[in-house]
Amino acid sequence: MLTWKNNIEALRNLLSNARQCLVTSHVNPDGDAVGASLAWWSYLKAAYPEMEARVAFPNRCPEFLRWVEGADQAIVYADGSESAQRYIKGCDLIFCLDFNALNRLDGMGEALASHAAPRVLIDHHRQPADEFQLAFSDISMSSTSEFIYRIVAALGGKPLLSKGAAEALYAGLVTDTGSFSFGVNTPETFRMAADLMELGIDKDEIANKIYDSYSEKRMRLLGYCLQSKMRVFPRHRAAYVALSRSELDEFCFQPGDTEGFVNFPLSIKKVRLSALFIESADKTHIRVSLRSKGKDLSVSELARKYFNGGGHFNASGGKYFDSLKNCEDYFEKILKDEF
Ligand code: 5GP
Ligand code: MN
């Protein structure tokens, strides 16, 4: 049977020949992107001390994830530092975690697409692009963090996982599964969580750092979204929130502040589709987040069909290249046509 386990020896081979490697993840890195990347980096440093390893994110990770061990050492590509560029140019192995097409890296994607080093994909999204020399791609994984844990185990590297790496993995696991409420497809995921507890993580403290770390402005932005901006369409069992730049500015928006907001309307019993539209800082496009509940409505397909995007069955995203007002009209038309 063809499974990712068949790729382990090829991975071991690549690793034993590499001198300088890069671990990357998608733009606006979330808990899984940050957790998986930093845990993999921590493992690589322990397992291959002669190899240089660094993490690079296309842009900065949000405040609520900066406590993860190694976050402060990651390259932020958008900062444009020359030493970071030099490091990336000198790499002979590139790991691509928690995304499956280089266009999810914004500008950094172009730099990596023309790079001579082999690219290794480790990811749990549907339909990976044909841009990777070695691909670990499995949609049954709850998170890329779980995938990293299983790959480390298959490489015989579990004893090398530090408490910091375990915390990173737990952060990825807990954020990508809505605290174990979706995406957990096998008992193995809970076994992984148990193993991480045995490595000494404080799961309550991690949840606290991730979820109970709002600024007052962020909490008020959430209140504003739900009280004044949420539009509900009972006939279509859908809801959306659209936020303009000037609204975000009023609440001193920081990247990551709207993380998770798209889930709230799904708590309305009759709503099974929720969307969040956010005007980009340069006002060139709208960032789209889609969520559904249940097993009938694939927002991954919706994102692909209408918003140049993709993702998972119940959580996806994309972009819309026009004004916020037109995006709202466009979505309302989709509701009428599809639901
Ligand atoms: P979020 O709404 O949190 O930004 O993204 C939800 C999910 O959709 C994530 O798993 C993310 O990887 C995926 N996703 C978000 N934006 C895009 C996009 O522009 N293209 C693709 N292919 N996937 C996306
Ligand atoms: Mn993920």
pLDDT in tens, 297-312: 999 999 999 999 999 9
Task: Compute the distance from residue 310 Cα to the ligand 1 centre, in Å.
Answer: 6
Beta strands in the chain (DSSP E): 20-25, 52-57, 75-76, 93-97, 119-123, 134-137, 231-233, 238-243, 273-279, 286-292, 310-311, 315-320
Sort strands 119-123 and 134-137 into parallel, antiparallel or unpaired: parallel
pLDDT in tens, 120-149: 999 999 999 999 999 999 999 999 999 999
Closest-CA residue, ligand 1 atom 22, reads 310
Mean pLDDT of the chain: 97
9: its two tokens: 């020896």
The 3-state DSSP composition of the chain as helix, strand, coil percent (nearest 5) reads 50, 15, 35
Write down the pLDDT at residue 207.
97
Give the burial class of 266: count Cβ atoms within 10 A of its Cβ; 0-12 exposed, 13-18 middle, 19 or more buried: middle
How far is residue 90's CA from residue 22's CA, in Å, rounded to a whole number? 10
Closest-CA residue, ligand 1 atom 19, reads 318
Q: Which residues surround ligand 2, an ion (CB under 5 A)?
A: 32, 98, 144, 176
Q: 187 and 86 share a domain?
A: yes
Write down the pLDDT at residue 1.
62
Write down the pLDDT at residue 121.
98
pLDDT band at residue 2 using 50, 70 and 90 as cut-offs: low
Write down the pLDDT at residue 231.
98
For ligand 1, what atom is nearest to the CA of residue 99?
12
Average pLDDT over residues 57-74: 96
**DSSP summary character for residue 1:** -
Closest-CA residue, ligand 1 atom 20, reads 309
Q: 327 and 225 share a domain?
A: yes
Q: 201 and 311 share a domain?
A: no
Task: Compute the distance from residue 139 Cα to the ligand 2 centre, in Å.
Answer: 10
How far is residue 231's CA from residue 169's CA, in Å, rounded to a whole number? 36
Q: 153 and 236 share a domain?
A: no
Q: 125 and 188 share a domain?
A: yes
Name the helix (H) or strand (E) containing 309: none
CB 98 within 8 A of CB 55: no
Q: Please, what's the b/e burial string for 236-256 (b: 16 or more CB within 10 A of its CB; e: otherwise)?
A: bbbbbbbbbeebbeebebeeb
How far is residue 271's CA from residue 233's CA, in Å, rounded to a whole number? 8
Q: 43 and 144 share a domain?
A: yes
Phi, psi of 161 (to 5 degrees): -75, 125
Q: How far is CA 184 from the centre of its chain?
A: 16
In terms of residue numbers, what domain contains 203? Answer: 4-210
Write down the pLDDT at residue 330.
98
Q: At what angle do helices 163-176 and 31-47 cross, to 10 degrees?
A: 150
pLDDT in tens, 203-220: 999 999 999 999 999 999
Q: Final residue of a domain: which of 210, 230, 253?
A: 210
Q: Final residue of a domain: which of 158, 187, 210?
A: 210
Q: 242 and 326 share a domain?
A: yes
pLDDT in tens, 264-278: 999 999 999 999 999
Q: 206 and 247 share a domain?
A: no
Q: Final residue of a domain: which of 187, 210, 233?
A: 210
Phi, psi of 198 (to 5 degrees): -65, -25
pLDDT in tens, 160-196: 999 999 999 999 999 999 999 989 999 999 999 999 9
Q: 76 and 198 share a domain?
A: yes
CATH (domain of 261) = 3.10.310.30
Question: Any idea how long the chain is?
Answer: 339
Q: 198 and 234 share a domain?
A: no
CB 34 within 8 A of CB 72: no
pLDDT band at residue 56 using 50, 70 and 90 as cut-offs: very high
CB 46 within 8 A of CB 162: yes
Task: Report whether pLDDT(37) > 70.
Answer: yes
Q: 204 and 225 share a domain?
A: no
CATH (domain of 103) = 3.90.1640.10
What is the total count of domains within the chain?
2
Q: 127 and 227 share a domain?
A: no
